Amino acid sequence: MNRFLNLFRGHGRGRAEEAGARNELFLFVHMPKTGGQSLCSFFLKRLVQRYSFIHLVSPHTQNAHLGWLESDFARLPLEERMQTKVILGHLINKDTHKLVPGKIPRHILFLREPAETLVSFYNFQMKHNRKDEKPLIAFEEWYDRSKQDNMMTRWLFSEFMRERWPRKTTLREWKQVQRVLRTFWFVGCTEDLDRDAPLLFQRIGVSGVLERANVSGLHHEKTLTLDAGLRERLRAENPIDVELYEYWKGRLDQTVARIRAEIQDRTKATPRSQTNEKQYRVSV
C-alpha cells in the first residue's frame, strides 16, 4: 500500500509540474542590441508564431506584419491569449503580462557591456543608411543626447517601467531600475548568450540550437570598431550603465545555478515520458 501511495504521489507531482509549466509566461524584454533578434529567430522556428510565441512590434518596425502590435494582441479573445508561452519584443513593459492573466510571469533580460552596446547600435543604424542609400553619419554626430546619459538605464526606466525620464540620470533612477530588475526571473549578459540561452530553452521546454543573427561584422558591414580608447571614454561617460551591467554580471553565476537547480527539480518530479511529450508538442 505504501509503495502504491508513493507511486501515486510521484505521478501527481509530475502532473503538477506539467500544469505548472503550462501556467508560466516567459517575457523576453528586448533592449536594443542585446541579442533579441537571435532569440526571436529561434522561437519563430520552434514555437507557433502568433500563437504560443508572440513578437510584440512597433507599426514602424521592418517586417511588422510578422509580429503583433500590442493593441491587436490585446483585442484577441482571452482563450487565445492564454495559449501564449513566450512573448518577446522592445514593446514589453511592466504591464504586458496582464494581457495573459492567471499565468506566472517570468521576466527575462539580457544586458550588454555599455560601450559595446553603443557601438553596435551605431553600426546597426549605419547598416540601414547603406541599405536606404543614405549618407553615413560620423559616430560623434550620431552620439547625440538621445544616445548619451546612460542609455540602457534610461531605456528600462522609460520603456519598460513607463516612468517619465528626468533631464539627467541619477542614482535615484538607477535604484528604481534595480528594484524592478530584482523581481525578474533572469537577468543575464549578451556576452554569455551562447552559454545561457540553451539553459533557458531547456527550462522553458523548447529544444534546439541558438544561431546568432544581425551581428555587426558578420551579417552586415561594421562601420566602426570599438578600440580601447573609445571603450574607456564611453564607459566613463555612462557610469550608471556600467554600474548596472557590472552588478548583474557579478551575480550571473548565481542566477545560472538557480536555473540549473530548477531544471533538476523539475526533471526529478516529471516522469520522462511526460517530459518528452511536452517538448515535442512545443517544438513542432
> pLDDT digit string (tens) for 34-49?
999 999 999 999 998 8
Q: How far apart are the first and last CA of the chain?
A: 40
Q: Binning pLDDT at 50, 70 and 90, where does residue 264 land?
A: very high
The structure's pTM equals 0.84
Q: Could you write out the DSSP letters of every residue in 183-235?
A: TSSEEEEGGGHHHHHHHHHHHHT--------S-BTTTB--S----HHHHHHHH
Give the pLDDT mean for 205-234: 84
Query: Of 181, 162, 160, 192, nearest to 244 (Cα)?
Result: 181
pLDDT in tens, 76-108: 999 999 999 999 999 999 999 999 999 999 999
What CATH number does residue 155 fall under?
3.40.50
- Beta bridge mates, 111: 189
Q: Which stretch of 29-33, 138-142, 157-161, 273-277 has the lowest confidence by average pLDDT?
A: 273-277
pLDDT given for residue 65 in this prediction: 53
Q: Coil, strand or helix: which one is 105?
A: strand
Residue whose cell numbers read 551591467: 245
Q: Domains in the chain: how many in total?
A: 1
pLDDT given for residue 20 in this prediction: 52
**201: in domain:** yes
**245: in domain:** yes
**252: in domain:** yes
**26: in domain:** yes
**266: in domain:** yes
Quote the mean pLDDT of the chain.
Answer: 85
Which residues constitute the domain of residue 211?
18-283
**11: in domain:** no
**139: in domain:** yes
